[in-house]
């Protein structure tokens, strides 16, 4: 009985130490990580991404991601000169389906690939438990907000940009 109690206390202590040592909530910047450009496009160093920017994390197998891509494209076409948009194809091993989705939705904003999920839990990115997700990057390169949400309209994204980045669009 005492051994079991000691084991539980030791385990809790280790978990507490581990979570304190890797506390992602204190890191408010994008990870210094270079991701390959989608379908042969130039790579992007996330740590050097200028703000204001919106980052959409998506995958071809994600139904809500598929629905929001044309909305994101419309936002990019209208506001891309004021707020950059970057899409990250996350843990997607269905390369041909991803290419077909991009073509079908007419996406022209920059895309990168993160097949291994390297952004997951790094820098200001939380451990992603669902897609789609969106991150808002301020002028100074800090991540103002990250949320798992389906963007359902351009107006919704404009409101989120105004709220989290202070950009009047």
Distance of CA 89 to the CA centre of its chain: 9
Query: What pLDDT is attached to residue 62?
Result: 96
Cβ atoms of 89 and 118 within 8 Å: the answer is no
**H-run or E-run covering 3:** helix 2-21
Beta strands in the chain (DSSP E): 34-37, 44-45, 53-58, 84-90, 111-114, 133-137, 143-148
Whether the CB-CB separation of 58 and 69 falls below 8 Å is answered with yes
Pairing of strands 111-114, 84-90: parallel
pLDDT number for residue 157:
98
Q: Which helix (H) or strand (E) holds 110?
A: none
Position 76 scores a pLDDT of: 98
C-alpha span between 93 and 60 (Å, rounded): 9
- Backbone CA torsion sign across 49, 34, 79, 65: negative
- Kindly report, residue by residue over 8-17, the tens digit of the pLDDT: 333 333 333 3
Length of the chain: 169
Angle (deg, nearest 10), helices 154-165 and 63-79: 70
Domains of the chain in sequence order: 28-165 (3.40.30.10)
Using CA atoms, how far apart are residues 73 and 70, in angstroms rounded to an integer? 5
Evaluate if residue 3 carries a pLDDT over 80. Answer: no
Determine contact, residues 28/143, Cβ cutoff 8 Å. Answer: yes
Q: Residue 48: is its pLDDT beyond 50? A: yes
Q: Is the pLDDT of residue 22 over 60?
A: no
Q: What pTM does this model have? A: 0.83
């Amino acid at each position: 009985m005492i051994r079991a109690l000691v084991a539980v206390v030791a385990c809790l202590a280790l978990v507490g130490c581990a979570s304190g040592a890797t506390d992602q909530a204190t890191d408010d910047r994008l990870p210094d990580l270079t991701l390959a450009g989608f379908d042969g496009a130039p790579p992007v160093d996330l740590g050097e991404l200028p703000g204001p920017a919106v980052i959409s994390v998506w995958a071809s197998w994600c139904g809500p991601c598929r629905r929001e891509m044309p909305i994101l494209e419309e936002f990019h076409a209208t506001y891309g000169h004021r707020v950059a948009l970057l899409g990250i194809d996350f843990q997607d091993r269905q390369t041909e389906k991803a290419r077909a989705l991009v073509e079908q939705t007419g996406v022209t904003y920059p895309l990168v690939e993160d097949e291994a999920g390297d952004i997951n839990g790094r820098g200001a990115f939380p451990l992603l438990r669902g897609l789609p997700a969106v991150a808002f990057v301020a002028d100074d390169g800090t991540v103002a907000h990250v949320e798992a949400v389906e963007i359902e309209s351009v107006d919704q994204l404009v409101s989120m940009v105004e709220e989290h980045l202070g950009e009047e669009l």
